[in-house]
Amino acid sequence: MPGRPEQDVIVIGGGPVGLATAMSLAGQGLRVTVLERDGEAVAAGPDVAERAWGQWHRPGVSQFRQPHILLPVGAALLRERLPRVVEALEAAGPL
């Protein structure tokens, strides 16, 4: 009998929905792998938001740098379902 796989779930896409899904599933104890076709994200750090905005080329997400009408809804869902993410974002300054 084969051993347990390295992950329980594979999430396709590392955008806001894919990452929120991955974090939610990981918070339930599942091992999650996120696959993203747009290459490596900008490395974490205190100025990650500024560097991501200017340096992260996202050809698969044409709306990446555009304002989005659903941002308030997304922020409310993050506050409700992934409060640790909101706390980290607020500590970093982008919210």
b/e per residue 78-87 (b: at least 16 CB within 10 A): beeebeebbe
**pLDDT at residue 63, as a whole number:** 67
Beta carbons of 76 and 95 less than 8 angstroms apart: no
**pLDDT at residue 11, as a whole number:** 94
**pLDDT at residue 88, as a whole number:** 82
What stretches in the chain show pLDDT beneath 70? Answer: 1-2, 39-42, 44, 49, 52-59, 62-67, 94-95
**pLDDT at residue 31, as a whole number:** 93
Beta carbons of 18 and 37 less than 8 angstroms apart: no
